[in-house]
Structure 1
């Protein structure tokens, strides 16, 4: 197992990465054509909430030019995992592109409690910038909370800012964090009554003409139509029944069953926002990515450009309908077609063999616990209200006040250092008292202190993932791990965030210029992606990178 966890153990990291690469090089069989030129364009694709088994479970429904092309012509890392907790969208996108974990890049969640301002902050929120393309505050975003560079930043620096970087996603964080600090632009979708692509003044003061033209063409409006299955629904045997008790669906429709009249339903589901929770949101993203390549002339010269594309609709659909739904299956069948369409466009414009693409996810998802219970698999739901009530009673009985706790956020307890000092309480003693109390609660599996995270070097188990996700300045004083397949969520739909296989095991596919053909079952981790692309391009690694170069992937 690799031990590439800290910046100060560079020699050990190099040795571990090197030995693994040699092992795989000796065992992998490849059939490739050598090339000496760098790719004109690097495309990073993140599929939001894509479990690895979606590649295999729906494989018979995929065409030959999308996922299957990547598996057939490129390199498939079949045992790829996140190596930290929590597995959320913000940390996931940051980790893919920075080559490190929240411990260093600082994006510890989508939202977290700021110990200095005493307020909850959003991973991409920035009150110091202005919205561009809308009057709504949805554009007040930037990457300023991310502490390290991305490989896209390093490519900009290496090329003296001549190589472009464009980030695209329905979600602001899915566009902003991958594109990094030096990006030419990041664009995200603003739904509601507008249905337009927007950005912020962090990047520019006005939208480029090609973005304005795209918005004016009302492409989003064209997708407010019926959503039915691509193929006869009776052939969707890879997923559960369409009519069941485990899916939320949309407001204005009694049952979560096909078909869905999106134009009619949009009136009760925040207008254009309904597209986010359908496969058409991915189609719209593909349309915009193609427009970006044309509008920015990406990949049209010998200086490498970077395009980051995050497909967000898969996450919205998964949250709404759950892992085992026919809606999820149809969404992936349609995404496969969009990716094939995208690749055909790249072949025709940038040129086949002139670009490099990787595809991964920002996290997986747990099956709906109510469904798991129905088939006798241990699972359940967390009662945070009763847990909070019990915890507050403990604080009053033990310390005479609840004020020693400032916030409970992301399964972390944040203590008030000023209140502890006022009461003459020792921080470490209080931390341990909270651990001893919380571990006695129902559905809590493990509890650790910040002191433990800072003083113990874990090498195995979920503790390693906790440590990789722990940022000393931003994380809490006590960290809680819930039972397996237990979530704080509605009993319909599903979520993610744990360090368990259903959340950590995600695809990692490489294709194109400089990439070998092959596959491996050797374990790889998300932070390996950025240094691998950096090595392929011959540029500096992201400045906080702790991942390994996957040398067996590169020609």
Structure 2
């Protein structure tokens, strides 16, 4: 027996001594399962990717991009957001915190702060300065996200030895996934500069590798002509190239291929035009590759994180709509970018040494005008008209027309001082406004604060609203439009609703410690962080409410 204890003790000692990192740590999974954690986890978020983009364009994809992930990994084919609103900032925060806006605090991209009485942006922070530009575009931090991310937990678990780098075109797409403890987050500033920047929240100066990338001319090389990747006649999965449902670019009379980006850039924000083309994805991949080398990600036995958000699909979808040739071409080109990134990871980190998950922050709707042309119920909610009607109603009912101090994100915020001054009962006001709103032709559901603070019910829509409702930050009345109704211009697509076209998004796990397979059981976006946490053997994010998708993990 003593000899057995001695043998086991020596084996444990040798296992701990085998890592090649200074001040070594055991790999997280080795503590319980004698499994080796991946050297690098890459969390990919595609901004505005409906689930059906995987299936609709499947026959056009190569074997090395989306198909490689699906065939070699684990696909969740019934994956949804479990809250509203389905916007970019809450989506990115929910993926990496494993919980909903109710808990993590990022209730929209921007929202009304009823305590400061100002409208705020999700990652703005005047306490910090821009790094890499004189513009204020770098005055950002993740402070409004009040919980930890999986990236934070990995940093804590490894005593800050595991690195985290966040990359995106959008600031919020880089900052929120990277968390509070990230080594750095980088996002793209266009205009006349066309470079990646950061914030003094992370560092006071850009690393040399970032400066080198910005000086390389790589970004400028993409001011070229955007033509379809394949003959446009083969794009039978999308609508006509010339139609009445798309915005296009200033300076071009029709939203049709080809697009001379050099010529068009002058009237479309100079380098900013690249955001609304697939070349924004190329720039993102190029910078991510530079980060892998520059930060030596995945080069030792302690897990690093690269969070990577492809922002351009969202810009393209908003501009051209989900049924456009431009959206189809974007996804065929994004498939190439995914393939290129995987090949690069194979080369730099090693086949079998990394884990990837790919998902999206929301889906998108068909253009209502397009649906109307096919006699499908759809329409446009006119917020300005609703606001005018609201003031008239309040004036007639309470003789005070400005009891609502803010109307945004389908929420009404009360003016508390006016309510007290006029001795108005808040409960009655909520009920009266509910009755008024539900009488409006485009409004489908209305919930009061009192209703949303009650326990969850069997009303599935109400539960989605509750999970997106922050007791501290949200308004006093929440209203939802009918399916396929949007508050948006009459061209292009948008998102934000509780319906399947916005909530259902892809979810694919791939690589080290991941099973091959698929499930049609319902999974939710908040399940990603606990699943990756369990795979790594680290603590879940501190407010996580998701479940582990156990069939994903190779036990």
TM range (shorter): over 0.9
Deviations 1:412-441 (A, max 9, x none): 000012221111111111111110111111
CA contact (8 A) 1:458 1:467 kept: no
CA distance in 2, matches of 1:383, 1:134: 38
Q: Does 1:260 align with 2:262?
A: no
CA distance in 2, matches of 1:491, 1:73: 41
SS at match of 1:268: coil
CA contact (8 A) 1:142 1:200 kept: yes
CA contact (8 A) 1:188 1:198 kept: yes
Q: Does 1:145 align with 2:144?
A: yes
CA distance in 2, matches of 1:428, 1:455: 14
Cα distance change, pair 49–339 in 1 and its aligned pair in 2 (3 A): same
Q: Does 1:481 align with 2:480?
A: yes
Cα distance change, pair 35–519 in 1 and its aligned pair in 2 (3 A): farther
Identify the residue that residue 164 of structure 1 maps to in structure 2. 163
CA contact (8 A) 1:35 1:513 kept: no
Identify the residue that residue 245 of structure 2 maps to in structure 1. 246
CA distance in 2, matches of 1:336, 1:247: 23
- For these two proteins, the number of residue pairs brought into alignment is 522
Identify the residue that residue 133 of structure 1 maps to in structure 2. 132
Identify the residue that residue 456 of structure 2 maps to in structure 1. 457
CA distance in 1, matches of 2:175, 2:398: 43
Identify the residue that residue 8 of structure 1 maps to in structure 2. none
CA contact (8 A) 2:431 2:448 kept: yes
CA contact (8 A) 1:431 1:477 kept: yes
CA distance in 2, matches of 1:386, 1:512: 51
TM-score w.r.t. length of structure 1: 0.93
More displaced 10-residue stretch of structure 1: 515-524 or 401-410: 401-410
SS at match of 2:355: strand
Q: Does 1:390 align with 2:403?
A: no
1:442 Cα offset (Å): 1.4
Identify the residue that residue 306 of structure 1 maps to in structure 2. 305
Identify the residue that residue 421 of structure 1 maps to in structure 2. 420
Cα distance change, pair 553–35 in 1 and its aligned pair in 2 (3 A): farther
CA distance in 1, matches of 2:454, 2:415: 21
Identify the residue that residue 85 of structure 1 maps to in structure 2. 84
CA distance in 2, matches of 1:181, 1:312: 21
CA distance in 2, matches of 1:299, 1:476: 44
CA contact (8 A) 2:41 2:355 kept: yes
CA distance in 1, matches of 2:498, 2:341: 32
Moved over 6 A (4+): none
Identify the residue that residue 27 of structure 2 maps to in structure 1. none
TM-score w.r.t. length of structure 2: 0.93
1:35 Cα offset (Å): 8.9
Q: Tell me the C-alpha RMSD between the 2 structures.
A: 0.9
Identify the residue that residue 275 of structure 2 maps to in structure 1. 276
1:456 Cα offset (Å): 3.3
1:460 Cα offset (Å): 4.0
Identify the residue that residue 201 of structure 2 maps to in structure 1. 202
Identify the residue that residue 545 of structure 2 maps to in structure 1. 546
SS at match of 2:407: strand
Pairing of 1:399-414 with structure 2 (within 5 A): 399-414=398-413
Identify the residue that residue 65 of structure 1 maps to in structure 2. 64
Deviations 1:18-60 (A, max 9, x none): xxxxxxxxxxxxxxxx992100000000000000000000000
Q: Which runs of 5+ in 2 are unaligned?
A: 1-32
Deviations 1:197-228 (A, max 9, x none): 00000000000000000000021100000000
CA distance in 1, matches of 2:500, 2:402: 37
CA distance in 2, matches of 1:514, 1:224: 40
Identify the residue that residue 471 of structure 1 maps to in structure 2. 470
Larger Rg: 2
Identify the residue that residue 226 of structure 2 maps to in structure 1. 227
Deviations 1:390-422 (A, max 9, x none): 111001111111232110110100001222111
CA distance in 2, matches of 1:148, 1:230: 42
SS at match of 1:552: helix
CA distance in 2, matches of 1:149, 1:48: 22
Identify the residue that residue 439 of structure 1 maps to in structure 2. 438
SS at match of 1:481: strand
More displaced 10-residue stretch of structure 1: 39-48 or 400-409: 400-409
CA distance in 2, matches of 1:322, 1:405: 33
1:80 Cα offset (Å): 0.2
CA contact (8 A) 1:35 1:514 kept: no
Identify the residue that residue 49 of structure 2 maps to in structure 1. 50
